[in-house]
A and B are shown apart, each in its own frame.
Chain A
Amino acid sequence: MTQALLREIIDYANRANPYPLYEELRKTPVSHDGDGPYVVSTYYDIHSLLHDPRISSDAKNLKATGDDLLGDQSDEEGTTLPPSFLKLDPPDHDRLRRMTNRPFGPPHAPHRVHDMRDELGGLVSGLIDGIVETGQMDRIDLVDQFAYPFPVSVICRLLGIPREDEPRFHVWAETLAASLDPDPDADPTQRGKGSMDARMELGMYLAGLIEERRKNPGDDMLSQLATADGPDGAMTTMEALSTSALLLIAGHETTVNLITNGMLTLLRHPEALERLRNDPDLAIPIVEELLRYEPPVQLLPQRTTLSDVEVAGVTIPKGASVWLMLASGNRDPKRFENPDRFDPDRKDIQHLGLGSGIHSCFGAPLARQEAQLALSELARRLENPRLLEDPPQYRQNSVLRGPRHLPIACDGIRP
């Protein structure tokens, strides 16, 4: 039953609208059968597990099970890069995240994200101007022409990665993002090899850059990660590599979906789009509601238990694989009134869209700023925008869910 439901959720055929399946899933807050993972789907249970120190993010604690949908993934890493802090527990997680945060956020770099605002604004304008230059308003692919290149440019500037190298790391990033997707039809051996190769190549590419920054440090985060020597000491080369690989991939594979899901939702709710056009400040609550309503990270399939843990009357045994269905928790009627309604005026919106606890989204302030700027500018500049395909074509990935293309048309673009 559970396994069947999970397969349906992962099944590409249901990518455009997995929410009825989540609703079904929530009837059993912790569901499990056979050798599959324990799937947690209700808001409060997910929230407490995200703060539960008996839950590990380190795959080494996973007791290998026979027919786990994800069983093939864990051993690929040792040979290339060490796992990023996303896949580590404290104290290593805390140390690496803390060191990464020093050049990124408060208390040591409180202005970093804020100071990028003008630059982000410039990128957004440039991309929209680029659409104008094509002269084709009757068919715009919002993903290829806007929602993808924007966050990529941002993360490149932030890290100090040459934008021209995008075609190279795009392939690796896509492969690695796909490796997160528990696609039961993919050939595990081949996929394991593919992601191993991608990690290796991305690692070598970043190693070259980091080597160069050590000699000529700049103001970018790569330089700071490579040369930092704070109270926690310096990162090893391997740590700097896996950390920058994480930032590079997570820094754009998620934001692209946030922006695309956002525009799709707004086009389906023209009254909200109209309000945003007249009031750019509305982007703040709109983005929060989007993170609840259509979160770019739908589920966290990489947790495991360090002891037997009782959740909602079910004992999850030590070493079990636990999936936290964030997008389902976000639509839990026990937590949110009318959860299937997109409501930019919603109060008390503590969603799970950026996770919670020690692994809560590292790039959240940047992602929020990017999405707010992108959506308010699109709303302001596009005249009479409309969807050409609904639902649009989605990416394969069920974890990082979003449209692969979002064809829209408009009557013109305001200056």
Chain B
Amino acid sequence: MTSTGTHDGSLERLKREGRIVVVGASLAGLRAAETMREKGFAGSLTMIGDEPYEPYDRPPLSKQVLLGNAVADHTALPRRRAIEAEWRLGVPATGLDMAARRVELGNGDAVEYDRLLIATGVRARPWPNAEEGALKGVFVLRTRDDGEGLQRALAAGPRRVLVIGAGFTGSEIASACRERGLDVTVAERGDAPLVGALGGVIGAVAAEMHRENGVDLRTGVMVTSLEGDPSGRVRAAHFSDGSTVEADVVVVSLGAQRNTEWLSGSGLGAGPRGIACDAGCRAFDIRGIVTDDIYVAGDVARSPHALFGYQFLSLEHWGNAVAQADTAAHNMLSASADRRPHLWVPAFWSSQFGVNIKSVGVPPMGTEILITQGSLAERRFAAAYGYQGRLIAAVTFDNCRWLPFYEQQIEATAPFPPPFSTVDRRPEGSKPLPADFPDPSVPTHGPTITLSGYSPADRKMTFTPGR
């Protein structure tokens, strides 16, 4: 490759002997490191992770691991190639000095970089009352250790499990419990499971799935407190409707928090919604100026997306982590003219109560929904979401082979409702319904896609300086 755009040879020097530091040793961090080596990066590569483990895969943790069909420590991510990195595992990054180009670590060490990739992801949102959250038998599910602990608790045969929050993770946990024959109560503040991610029409289908599979589903309620016995073990939960549920395992499944606290005061544009970056994964500083040596990828990134009005999207999606890591790694080692935008169409999947659920696009942006194929009652369907006359997302239940079509339609900014007929169109697919998403200012369990405002490029924005 020639030195396009790098007349001073700095890029070649970076590739030959530069120092790249990746903070976050999970899916995005690993895939980025692999891409960098693939692109000929021969310098030093440091992988920093707060967990003591090398990168592992999370989707099995809420599925096969909970069923006891897979062991948590056997979910290591397969390697695409050797990355010859220096691993700094079991030690968190605690600070960033942007001027000195240095990452500070929890053990007092510091690592210098020429390029930094931040892929610190998210963590489970803990139970708000720390004392109650510390009771024995209270779990969250995000890490390998969480998965292993919860699996053991389920294997011990609790009399009842309470899952707080019916998002994807909460629903998968409930499904696993039922498959293991355990009694389970699910408490959801919204009107239905999955309602924050897929809206009320699909949420109603999910609610039926829970109930038909024997889940004691309580919607429109909050858990107000957890109660322990004298030995410090959880025994009951009190609900906002005045009821009480006795449970000896409680799983708090209230969505995720972005791991950005370590960046506070660093001057990087990082906050509770993630780290803002441009379409090429370069992080913004707090003044809205793009950095040229700090990149972000994965769940912790918030980036503008051309297909969705350049709104900043924060995605907690496996596929996004892989694709964004690849783009970030490419751009880190490229001259400006060779960089490319991260244009991945959001997509995720879930498996619960024997049903395969997949989605593309950004359902929460949709205001209308049309059942284009199959039927809600059979729980085998494809549905399209519309936003201002555009197809913006689609979801399938046990019908995923059609999804690539909808993805293409979204990419082509196709009209909504779709002006064509399809195989398996039923009477219920004759006209769109309101998609029925809850007010986004009142989050339920935390959606897996967060829409968080517009980029400076959006001309609808007017800047009014405060006084």
Contacts and interface: CB of A to CB of B under 8 A. Distances in A.
Q: Which of A89, A94, A307 has the most CB of B within 10 A?
A: A94
Contact of B373 (A55, A90, A307): A90
A143 to B, nearest CB: 34
Contacts of B374: 90-91
B401 interface: yes
B404 A53 contact: no
B402 A53 contact: yes
B408 A48 contact: yes
B360 to A, nearest CB: 12
A360 B402 CA distance: 12
A54 B420 contact: yes
B345 to A, nearest CB: 15
Nearest to B354: A107
Contact of B405 (A48, A306, A308, A360): A48
A358 B403 CA distance: 11
A306 B420 contact: yes
A56 interface: yes
A53 B382 contact: yes
A47 B404 CA distance: 10
Interface in B368-389: 372-374, 378, 380, 382
Contacts of B421: 54, 306-307
Given A53-B424, A306-B423, A358 B401 contact: yes
A33 interface: no
B420 A51 contact: no
A130 interface: no
B422 interface: yes
B380 A94 contact: yes
A144 interface: no
Interface string B213-247: 00000000000000000000000000000000000
Contacts of B380: 91, 94
Report whether over half of chain A's contact residues are helix, strand or loop; otherwise say mixed.
loop
Interface string B406-445: 0010000000000111111000000000000000000000
B424 A48 contact: no
A56 B423 contact: yes
A90 B424 contact: yes
Contacts of B423: 53-56, 89-90, 306
Contacts of B419: 307
A306 B405 CA distance: 15
A91 B425 CA distance: 9
Contact of A307 (B402, B408, B420): B420
A48 B403 CA distance: 10
B422 A51 contact: no
A365 interface: no
Interface string A52-67: 1111100000000000
Given A90-B373, A91-B374, A94-B380, A51 B401 contact: yes
B12 to A, nearest CB: 28
Interface in A43-100: 47-48, 51-56, 89-91, 94
A51 B423 CA distance: 11
A270 interface: no
Interface in A339-362: 357-358, 360
Nearest to A356: B401
A249 interface: no
A52 B373 contact: no
Interface in A294-338: 306-309
A349 to B, nearest CB: 17
Given A90-B373, A94-B380, A51 B424 contact: no
Contact of A306 (B382, B401, B408, B422): B422
Nearest to B372: A53
A54 B422 contact: yes
A321 to B, nearest CB: 16
A340 to B, nearest CB: 27
Nearest to B402: A53
B186 to A, nearest CB: 24
Contacts of A47: 404
Contacts of B372: 53
Contact of A91 (B404, B420, B424): B424
Contacts of B378: 91
Contacts of B422: 53-54, 306
Contacts of A307: 419-421
A53 B372 CA distance: 9
Nearest to A107: B354
A360 B422 CA distance: 18
B373 A51 contact: no
Nearest to A358: B401
Contacts of B408: 48
B199 to A, nearest CB: 21
B401 A89 contact: no
A383 B53 CA distance: 52
A90 B378 CA distance: 13
B373 A48 contact: no
B405 A52 contact: yes
Given A53-B373, A94-B380, A308 B420 contact: yes
B370 to A, nearest CB: 13
Interface in B60-94: none
Nearest to A56: B423
Contacts of B373: 53, 90
Interface string B139-166: 0000000000000000000000000000
A55 B402 CA distance: 11
A237 to B, nearest CB: 24
A54 B418 CA distance: 11
A47 B407 CA distance: 13
A91 B374 CA distance: 7
A83 to B, nearest CB: 14
Interface in B32-49: none
Nearest to B420: A307
A97 B374 CA distance: 15
12 contacts: A51-B402, A51-B405, A53-B423, A54-B421, A55-B423, A90-B373, A90-B374, A91-B378, A94-B424, A306-B422, A307-B419, A357-B401
Given A48-B404, A306-B422, A306-B423, 9 more contacts: A53-B422, A90-B374, A90-B424, A91-B374, A94-B424, A308-B420, A309-B420, A357-B401, A358-B402
Q: Which 7 A-B pairs have the closest CB atoms?
A: A53-B422, A307-B420, A90-B424, A89-B423, A51-B404, A51-B405, A358-B401
